[in-house]
Amino acid sequence: MPSKPLQNQPRLPSSFVLVKSQDGFSEYEHTGNGLRVLHHEIPGTGVISTNITYKVGARDEGVGETGLAHMLEHMLFKPTTFDQGRGTESAAMLFERETGAVLNANTWRDRTTYFFSYPKSHFTRALTIEAERMRGVVLTDAEFQPERTNVLSEFDMYNGDPYFALDVAMTNASFVSLPYGHETIGFREDIEAYTTEKLQSFYDCFYWPNNATMIVIGDLSAEAALAEIDQVFGTIPRGPAITRAFPREPKQEGVRRVSVVRDSQTNILALGIRHDGFTTTNWLETMLLMSILTDGPDSILYPLLIETGKASRLEGSIQPSGDPNIATITITLSAKQRHADIEALVMKAIGKVTVADITPRLERVKSSIINREAFDRDTSLRIALDLTEYVSADAWPRYLETKKLLRKITPATAHARLMEQWNEQRMIIGQFIGTQS
Amino acid sequence: MHTTTKTGNGYTVTTLTKPGTPLVKFYLSIDLHDWRDNMPYGALDLYTDLLLRGAGPYSKSAFSNELATIGATLEVDTSMHFLTFELSVTKTHLKRALALFETMITAPLFKPAEFAQAKQIMLEHIRSARENSKQYAEVNLNLALYDRTERWCPVSHDQLAAEVTAATIKDVKTIHKAVLPRAWQITVGGDSGAIKTVLSCVAAWRIVWPLRLVPAPTGTVTPPKLKQRLITAAIPSRQNIDLAIGQRISLSKLDPEYPALAFGIAVLGNWGGFAGRLMSTVREKEGLTYGIYCRLEGTGATQSGHLRVMTFFSPQDTEKGLTSTFREIKSIIGSGITEAELTRFRDIIATAHILTKDSLLSYIDTIHVNGLLGINPDMLETLIARISALTREEVNAALKKHLDIKSMVVSAAGPTAKVEPRLRAFVKTIS
C-alpha cells in the first residue's frame, strides 16, 4: 500500500496519507478502510462536484447476469436502511428534490460512477448520501421490481435505435472469453431473470470503500474535504479483498461478421478493429487514427464516402476500457448503396494509406485535441466526470499529460499501428440492413 | 462573471466577462423574421452549410483544417428565424479564429460542386430524420400549435426536402447579400482582453457591411385554431412510441403571470432531473417510462410559446402512460402545488441558476438565446428574483388559468399502427 509522509502539504487528518500530487490534483488514501480521494480545488466558484467511482462494471458480470452492475446502479437511488430508519424517501432523490443539485450515475465496462454537482454548503450532505448507500442499499423485491421495469424501459429506448442495435451485435461478436462481449445494460432476457439474491451478492462483493475513489473538485480545500470525508466514511470497514480472474481473449483468426435486419430505411456498415486498453500508447494511437480516418472533410474516408454521396454519415469511435476492446468506424449508407461495395472501398483505401498521408493530419488532430482541452474543463462537474475513466484505469495523472502523451506518437508509429489493426482477419464487420430501403 | 449590454453602430452586444478564463465564445445573430411569410428554409439550410465549405484562399478542407488546428469550432444555424454564427476558441488563438470568421463572411466561395454535394447530403439527412421518432413527434406538435409565420414553427420533412431540391446557388448568393447588412445581435464571453479584441473586429466588419435597416414585419399573427387533438406518425422500425404533448400558452416572459406558470410547470415536470411530479409518479411509482419531463418553450419578451411534455412509452403501456400523465396534469390544474413544493422548487430553481453561472459556456448560451427573444441579463435576474418571491396562490392561479386539457395536443411517433385505435379512444376521453 503506497504511503508517503506528509511534507509541505496542508494539515490533513491522520487517517489519510498522500499517494500522489500533480499540477494541483492530489490523491489520498484512507489508512483504515482504503477509500481513495482525488481532490482539486477551484476557489471562488461556490460549487463542488463529487463523483464516487467504484471499480465494478459490465466485465464483472457472469453468463446470465449481464447488466447487473447497471441494475445495481439504479438501485442505489432507492431508499437505504438509513432512509427507512428515518421514514423518508431515498436521500439521493431527496437531495435533488430539495436542493436542485445535479445528480446522476452511469455504468461502463470496468466501473460504476455516481456524481453530484451542488452549491458548496451541501458538501456534507452529498458525502453522507454516498456513505449510506455504499453499504446500506435495500435490495428487496418491493424496491427492485418497479425499478427493473424502468431498466427494461431504458433498454427498449436504446434498442429502438439502429446504431445501438448494431453496436450490440458487434460487441457480442468481438469477445469469446473476456466479459466485454455484452453492452452495459445487458440482454433483455437477463434483466428479466434477475433476482434480489444475485443483486445482493454482487453488491456485497464490490461496494466497499477499498474498491472506490471519491473525486472532489471545486470550491473547498483539501484539508476541509478530507476532514469531512473522514468523519462520514471513516467508520465504514474495509471490505474483503476482491479476486478477479478474467480469462484472456483467444486470438481471433478470421473475420467475424454480424448483421441486424429490421423494418427500417436505414442501412449502416460498421468496421471494428482491436486496440489495447485506455491510456496505453496503442489506445491513443487508435484514437488519433479514428480521427484521421473519419473526422472532417480532410479525413481519409470523407472524400471517398461523403463527397461522392455514397454515405450520409461517417463516424469513428473508441471507448475507454481497462482491457483491449474494439474501436469502430460507422458508416450510414446513402440510398441504393450496398454494404459490400462500401466495405471494399474502405478497406482498399485504408490499405493504401502512407506515412505521408498521415503526417499533416496527425499534427492537426493533436493540435485540435490540445487546444480543445480547456473547453472540456469548463466546470467542476466536467472535470470530475472526465477523470472517471482515468481513475478507473488507475492512471489519473495522465488526465494532465495530454501534450506529453501525444508527443510520443509519430506518423511512423501511427502508420504502423494502422497497418497492424486493419487486417481483415482480426476485424469485426457488421451490417444493419433496413428492409424498407 | 458580470455582464454588460451596449449598442454600437448597427449592432447590440452583450458581454460576459470572466477574469482569467482561457475560453472565448462569440455569437452573432441576424434576425430574418421579416421573411416569415416566405421563409426559404431549404435555401437557408444550404446557405449555412456552404459558408463552411470554402472561403477566400481556403478550400473546404483547408478551412476546416485551420479551425481544427487551433481547436476552434464554428457553427452556423438557422432557428427561430435567426441566422446565428457561433464561434468558440481559446484566447491564445482568438485572432486567428476571428480572421477565419471574417474570411468566411466576406469571401465565401459558394462553389457549384460543393453546392451539389451539400444538397445531396442534406436530402439524405432528411431521409434519416424521418425515422427519428422523438424529433418527429416534436415537429408535428409544433406544426399543430404554431402558424407557419411564427418563429417557433418548424418546417416539415416533406417541405424541407422539396425546398432543398428546388434551391439554386443563386438563391444562396442572394441570401448572403441580403443578411449581413442587417442589424447584428452579439454576445461574447471571455476575459476583458478577449472581449476587447472581438469587439474591435466587430466594429471593423460593420464598416465592410454597413447597416441597412429592414422594416419589421407588420400585422399580428394568430395562433392556429386547434384542428386535431391527436397526430400520429408511423415509424415501424422504432420500438417505443415517442410523445410530445403540448398546448399554446398565451403569455410572454414579461407577463406578470409568467414566473408563476413557469414555476408550476417545473413542479409538474422539472426538465432533466427526478424532481418533477411526472418523474416521481409515472416513472418511479408506476414504472411506465424511463423519462418524462415538461417545460415552457418559445416564449420571449413579446412572443407567446407553449407547454411541451416529452416522454415515450412501450406500445403496450401507451394508454396507461397517457392516462397517468393526464391524471397528473389534471391534478396540478385542479389542486395546484403544495407549500412544501413551493419551498423545494424555490431552492431547485435557484440552484439551477447557480450551476448555470458556474459555466461560462452554459451561461453565455442562456444569455444569447434569451437575448434573441428580447430578454436581457438583467431581466433574467429579475425573473429569478421574482420566482423566489412567488406565493403558492400565485402559482396555483396561473396553473388554473393557463393550462387547459381541452387545448392539449398529443403527437405520437413510432410503431403507432399498433396503438392508434386506443390512442384515438383515449384522446376522446380528454376532449
- What does the pLDDT read at residue B367? 95
Longest Cα–Cα distance in chain B: 65
Rg over CA atoms, chain A: 23
Name the percent of chain B lying above pLDDT 70. Answer: 100
pLDDT tens for each residue of B110-129: 999 999 999 999 999 999 99
pLDDT tens for each residue of A135-163: 999 999 999 998 999 999 999 999 989 99
pLDDT tens for each residue of B140-165: 999 999 999 999 999 999 999 999 99
pLDDT tens for each residue of B241-296: 999 999 999 999 999 999 999 999 999 999 988 999 999 999 988 989 999 999 99
pLDDT tens for each residue of A228-285: 999 999 999 999 999 888 888 899 999 999 999 999 999 999 999 999 999 999 999 9
Query: Which ipTM was obtained for this model?
Result: 0.92
- What does the pLDDT read at residue B126? 94
The three cell numbers locating residue A115: 456524481
| Predicted confidence (pLDDT) at residue A1 exceeds the cutoff of 60 | no
Chain B residues touching A313 at Cβ < 8 A:
125, 128
What stretch of H or E contains B133? helix B133-145
Contact (CB<8Å) A266/B358: no
Cα-based distances in Å from A263 to A12, B131, B370: 62, 11, 42
Contact (CB<8Å) A100/B348: yes
Taking residues A33-50, what's their average pLDDT? 96
Taking residues B367-385, what's their average pLDDT? 93
- Which domains, from first to last, does chain B contain? 2-208 (3.30.830.10), 229-429 (3.30.830.10)
- Least confident stretch, A51-65, A170-184, A288-302, B202-216: B202-216
| Predicted confidence (pLDDT) at residue B388 exceeds the cutoff of 90 | no
- What does the pLDDT read at residue B402? 97
Q: What are the backbone dihedrals phi and psi of residue A298, each rounded to the nearest 5 degrees, phi first? A: -95, 5
User: Which of A141, A298, A301, A365 has the most B C-beta neighbours within 10 Å, making it the best mutation to test the interface with B?
Assistant: A298
| Predicted confidence (pLDDT) at residue A126 exceeds the cutoff of 70 | yes
- What does the pLDDT read at residue B226? 83
Contact (CB<8Å) B273/A160: no
Are residues A57 and A69 in contact, defined by beta-carbon separation less than 8 angstroms?
A: yes
CA count, 13 A, side-chain hemisphere, B64: 15
SS3 of residue A402 by DSSP: helix
Distance of alpha carbon A84 from the chain centroid: 32
Closest CA to A421 of A353, A356, A345, A322: A353
Beta carbons within 8 Å of B78's beta carbon, 6+ residues apart: B32, B41, B44, B45, B48, B84
- What does the pLDDT read at residue A9? 59
Judging by beta carbons within 10 Å of its beta carbon (0-12, 13-18, 19+), is residue B212 exposed, middle or buried?
A: exposed
Taking residues A71-95, what's their average pLDDT? 96
Residues 98-117 (A) with a CB less than 8 A from some CB of B: 98-103, 117
- What does the pLDDT read at residue B214? 87
Closest CA to A431 of A42, A172, A170: A170
- What does the pLDDT read at residue B202? 94
Q: Quick one: chain A helix, strand, coil %, rounded to 5?
A: 45, 20, 35
Among chain A residues, the shortest Cα distance to B349 is held by A100
On whether any CB of chain A is under 8 Å from the CB of B346, the answer is no
Residue with more model confidence, B29 or A7: B29
Taking residues A382-402, what's their average pLDDT? 96
CA distance A101 to chain B (A): 7
- What does the pLDDT read at residue A5? 43
Task: Give the CA-trace dihedral at A406, A410, A415, A418, to 10 degrees.
Answer: -20
Taking residues A167-180, what's their average pLDDT? 94
Residues 102-131 (B) with a CB less than 8 A from some CB of A: 117, 120-121, 124-125, 127-128, 130-131
Contact (CB<8Å) A296/B64: yes
| Predicted confidence (pLDDT) at residue A10 exceeds the cutoff of 80 | no
On whether any CB of chain B is under 8 Å from the CB of A154, the answer is yes
CA distance A370 to A377: 12
pTM tops 0.90 = yes
Cα-based distances in Å from B305 to A215, A267, B84, B270, B402: 41, 38, 21, 17, 12
Contact (CB<8Å) B359/A379: yes
The three cell numbers locating residue B83: 441566422
| Predicted confidence (pLDDT) at residue A2 exceeds the cutoff of 60 | no
| Predicted confidence (pLDDT) at residue A437 exceeds the cutoff of 80 | no
| DSSP letter for each residue of A347-358 | HHHHHT--HHHH
Are residues B242 and B412 in contact, defined by beta-carbon separation less than 8 angstroms?
A: yes
Residues 348-367 (B) with a CB less than 8 A from some CB of A: 348-352, 354-355, 358-362
Name the percent of chain A lying above pLDDT 70. Answer: 98
Taking residues B334-344, what's their average pLDDT? 96
Are residues A179 and A110 in contact, defined by beta-carbon separation less than 8 angstroms?
A: no
Chain B residues touching A435 at Cβ < 8 A:
none
Which region holds residue B19: left if phi is over 0, alpha if psi is between -120 and 50, else beta? beta
Chain B residues touching A297 at Cβ < 8 A:
60-61, 64
